[in-house]
Amino acid sequence: MRQRILLSITIILLISIIPGCTNQNSKADQAPSPKSAPSDNNISKKINLSDLQRSNGDTEIAMLVTFLNPLGEGRDSYLSFEIWLNNHKIDLATFPMGKNAKLYDFDGNLISTQPEWETEGVAPHLTGYMNFKVSGDTNKLGGIKLVIENLGITAKREFTWDKEYLAL
């Protein structure tokens, strides 16, 4: 299932982010080609994969973040995210992503810090899975905001999901 999600993310990045920031003549700089997209029965009827994805390509590092819990991919007692990173300037394997990420509710209250961070792939295209330990009922939150600080030249990147995605 994670491979299917990654492949869908790759399609979206190729269409929206990658063409503007990579050399289109070099296959080594492009994300891998997808084999298949997620089947409709793996995604809630209320949402589709693009509803759960947030992107940020403002600087030298392009990011695509997918909130995994509504897809049934999150771990119990965790809020889980898949993060696809693309760049050609920074060694992302050495970046302390887990130490620079925090999860907030929409009221600005800190929910969790220092998530588990697991990576797949190699730079310049790296995929990681970020899992924030949470306690309590996340359905009561007004929404969540994932904040990643000091990645490249960007001081802070924010990715938000409304309450409707927490209740799925």
The enclosing domain of 81 has a CATH number of 2.60.40.10
In a domain, residue 113? The reply is yes
- Overall domain count for the chain: 1
Residue type, 51: D
Instruction: Compute the half-sphere exposure of residue 27: CA atoms within 13 Å on the CB side of its CA.
Output: 2
The reply to whether the predicted model has a pTM over 0.75 is: no
In a domain, residue 47? The reply is no
Domain residues for the domain of 58 are 2-23+53-166
In a domain, residue 28? The reply is no
In a domain, residue 59? The reply is yes
The residue-averaged pLDDT of 45-68 equals 87
In a domain, residue 117? The reply is yes
Higher pLDDT, 44 or 149: 149
In a domain, residue 79? The reply is yes
The residue-averaged pLDDT of 96-123 equals 90
In a domain, residue 157? The reply is yes
Helix (H), strand (E) counts: the chain: 3, 9
In a domain, residue 39? The reply is no
Do residues 14 and 29 touch, judged by C-beta distance below 8 A? no
The residue-averaged pLDDT of 91-96 equals 77
* Residue 24 pLDDT > 60: no
- Banded model confidence at residue 34, pLDDT cuts 50, 70, 90: very low
The residue-averaged pLDDT of 82-86 equals 92
Count the neighbouring beta carbons within 10 Å of the beta carbon of residue 168: 16
- The CA radius of gyration of the chain, in Å to the nearest whole number, is 15
Q: Residue 116: what pLDDT?
A: 95
